[in-house]
Amino acid sequence: MLPMPKRGLYAITPEGKTFDEILEFTKAVLKGGACVVQYRDKTSNDTLTLARKLLKLCHVYNVPLLINDNVEIAQKMGADGVHLGKDDGDITQARERLGTKAIIGVSCYNSLELALKAQSQGVNYVAFGRFFTSNTKPLAQQAEIGTLTAGKKILSLPIVAIGGILPTNGATLIDAGADLLAVIGGLATPQPEITAQTYSALFS
């Protein structure tokens, strides 16, 4: 298993695409500098097949693959880790199933209290958001940029920002304390490799 990167572009795969389109997208953002990829799929009945292909592709670039919400799939296919939302299961149980080397990240929305609790349970990163208008999760709770700044002072693990992040607003979040920018819709462009490069350049 690969470790969690400390800084950079955190790419999330789009939904409603064919296997080939998702693989093509993932290869493009990896070439563009994504340092971690999350496979997010709420609809497919054949998640395992594509997840295994994505894992193989990500490891060519020495980049970890995380599975969104699904500890069982992550365990079955040997993913590098999992990302859990508030309704996606217990952190301790996920650690027991995936092992000590697996990456476990959690959504903390706008709550430093949730982040501190997750840190005490041994997660590898916490995610705050959404920070801007998001087509993927339009009803998601609004997060405050000040949460990143406060989190940077009291947390000792990587902080991920998510939600409506574009190359034009991402620097604001990095300056406030985000270590990684998680992006879905912002990478859905005709040239995702070039777009990924633009995001990656924000960290240089």
pLDDT value of position 47? 85
Q: Is residue 1 part of a domain?
A: no
Q: Is residue 3 part of a domain?
A: no
pLDDT value of position 136? 66
State the total domains in the chain. 1
Give φ, ψ of 179 to 5 degrees: -90, -30
CATH number at residue 75: 3.20.20.70
Total residues found in the chain within this entry: 204
- Is the pLDDT at 87 greater than 90? The verdict is no
Q: Is residue 65 part of a domain?
A: yes
Q: Please report, rounded to a whole number, the percentage of residues in the chain having pLDDT higher than 90.
A: 89
Q: What residue numbers bound the domain in which 103 lies?
A: 8-201
- Is the pLDDT at 129 greater than 90? The verdict is yes
- Is the pLDDT at 44 greater than 80? The verdict is no
pLDDT value of position 138? 67
pLDDT value of position 45? 65
pTM of the full structure = 0.96
Of 86 and 14, the structure prediction assigns the larger pLDDT to 14
pLDDT value of position 137? 65
Q: Is residue 2 part of a domain?
A: no
pLDDT per residue as tens digits for the range 148-179: 999 999 999 999 999 999 999 999 999 999 99
pLDDT value of position 160? 98
pLDDT value of position 38? 98
